[in-house]
Amino acid sequence: MTTGIIHRYHFANRQQYNLVPAEFKDRLIAQLIDGIILGLFCGLIFFIFSKGEVYSVWAMPFIPVYLLQVADAHVNSFSDFWWGGAYFTIDSPFGSNVFVNYPSPLLWVGYALYYTVFTAIYGQTPGKMFKKLVVTTQHEQKPGFARSFCRWIGYLISIFSLGFGFLIAAREGQAAWHDAICVTRVYQFDANS
């Protein structure tokens, strides 16, 4: 189903689609869109839990690390760790300090649920829906919850290797580490003519 900018892939009707391996740039754009969506969600969490004293100014896709803007009146407490309001300060020689949050349990759960649930149910996150991308098993089936969660863990492995696991996918025909580990494929799809 295509609704404006959202392009859903229907596994039950997969014979209606032409699948080609997704290009690295399309996958990157899809991740940036997902990062914006997660950033808005987590920014709202920061704002609500801090009563407007902490808000996000930049988000990272895949893992919940944010640059924050913190009101002068805000006092950091231990309970802030659970929702993402705990941060450390980097002194800047160019003016205001930079505040970086510690990834919190609530935000980790939010990220894991976002990537796992969307991929398991639809084979697509909203970013992938925008770019007409779909995640499948090697047999072009829906990945399911276990494999989708495995993909998210694979994202972390790729990130903690300084992004090398993602850069592998930049080479044509190569799967990113999270795809290789979980035996998944990412395709771009179009309806057959």
Note down the domain range covering 56. 36-103
- Paired residues of 67 in beta bridges: 58, 100
| 192 is a domain residue | no
For residue 95, report the phi and psi dihedrals to the nearest 5 degrees: 130, -125
Give percent of the chain with pLDDT exceeding 90: 39
Q: Would 28 be classed as within a structural domain?
A: no
pLDDT digits (tens, 9 = 90+) for 24-33: 899 989 999 9
Judged by average pLDDT, the poorest of 34-48, 79-93, 136-150, 151-165 is 79-93
Q: Flag whether 85 is in a domain.
A: yes
What is the SS3 assignment for the chain? CEECCEECCCHHHHHHEEEEECCHHHHHHHHHHHHHHHHHHHHHHHHHHCCCCEEEEEECCCCCCEEEEECCCCCCCCCHHHHCCCEEEECCCCCCCEEEECCCHHHHHHHHHHHHHHHHHHCCCHHHHHCCEEEEECCCCCCHHHHHHHHHHHHHHHHHCCCHHHHHHHCCCCCCHHHHHHCEEEEEEEECC
Lowest mean pLDDT among 65-69, 127-131, 156-160, 175-179: 65-69
Residue 29 structure tokens: 């754009």
Would you say residue 54 lies in a domain?
yes
The residue-averaged pLDDT of 10-31 equals 92
For the chain, how many structural domains are there in total?
Answer: 1
**Residue 7, domain member (yes or no):** no
pLDDT above 70: percentage of residues in the chain = 92
Classify residue 109: in a domain, yes or no: no
190 lies in a domain?
A: no
Q: What is the number of other CB atoms lying within 10 angstroms of the CB of residue 35?
A: 16
Q: Answer yes or no: is 19 within a domain.
A: no
Question: In which band, very low, low, confident or very high, does the pLDDT at 2 lie, cut at 50, 70 and 90?
Answer: low
